[in-house]
Structure 1
């Protein structure tokens, strides 16, 4: 019994000491800033205007296409086949998200082929693809992890607001789902495997979090 308790403590402590946890804690201010944005609070309560959600869906579909390409570029730079396989699994997760967005687009009357990115979406995707083309796997993963961790965290934070008639219940359930949490942890595992705690890695993670905040703020400002 004592042996098992000690093992659990050691595993917990190991998680706390890992890079993904260090970077997430260092950027929790921006995570909370995202949570407090009117757009995210509107998602939580269900009072978000449909026009703002429509704008978000279009912008997020544009973003996810770039996110998918960044995964592919990271996989191409991997030396370990197990890392390539992990990126393949993560890409499958993005493709599932895109299917969700296509469903939203159909119901909301959005033509995803004609989406014009807002400045926040353009800045975010330009950053991701620039890093994906020019940097190593460590910085690429550092730039991509915030999106996955933040969405998983927001899903759990918003889940208590769910009700049967919640207009954005599908969105909240998607990101509160343990399956999505598993994808976030998988990417964090890659971060721990491939990256060291360097200024470049910290800067990539931090800037991605800034981009997330700007991205969530953009739909309300645009409508």
Structure 2
């Protein structure tokens, strides 16, 4: 994977505060909630990255080293959202809890993307 992403050595990667917070959020959901809620926690990532891939899909070409990422994240592969919608009732999902987890996951996405900018946006 390092070769694919053109990363010379893993020590050159440092997890920022926003990524660490996001990881902590997902770990908390994974360890404190029923497993189905982890899918809900991961949904904002799938949705947002799918949207981002759609926005930059014109960049898919032989010279773009990230073309594979764009292609892999294009909308239409939102099977997680479909699975959640089709099975939430079967797993007796508490809608209020699910919405809070989804909202918190989306905030983690906002914080993660904002951390890559020069100016914080609130």
* Helix, strand or coil at the partner of 1:116: coil
Q: Does 1:109 align with 2:8?
A: yes
* Helix, strand or coil at the partner of 1:109: coil
Q: CA deviation at 1:203?
A: 1.0
TM-score for the superposition, normalised by structure 1:
0.44
* Helix, strand or coil at the partner of 1:108: coil
Q: CA deviation at 1:168?
A: 3.6
Matching residue within 15, 20, 42 for 1:122: 20
Q: Distance in 2 between matches of 1:140 and 1:173?
A: 25
Aligned to 2:71: 173
Q: Does 1:194 align with 2:88?
A: yes
Unpaired segments ≥5 residues, structure 2: none
Aligned to 2:31: 133
Cα deviations by residue, 1:154-176 (Å, 9 ceiling, x for unpaired): 21221134455445433322322
* Helix, strand or coil at the partner of 1:103: coil
Contact 1:158 1:172 in 2 (8 A): yes
Cα deviations by residue, 1:25-83 (Å, 9 ceiling, x for unpaired): xxxxxxxxxxxxxxxxxxxxxxxxxxxxxxxxxxxxxxxxxxxxxxxxxxxxxxxxxxx
Change (3 A) 1:173 1:190: closer
Aligned to 1:143: 41
**Aligned length in residues:** 114
| RMSD of Structure 2 on Structure 1 (CA) | 2.6
Q: Distance in 2 between matches of 1:153 and 1:131?
A: 24
TM-score for the superposition, normalised by structure 2:
0.74
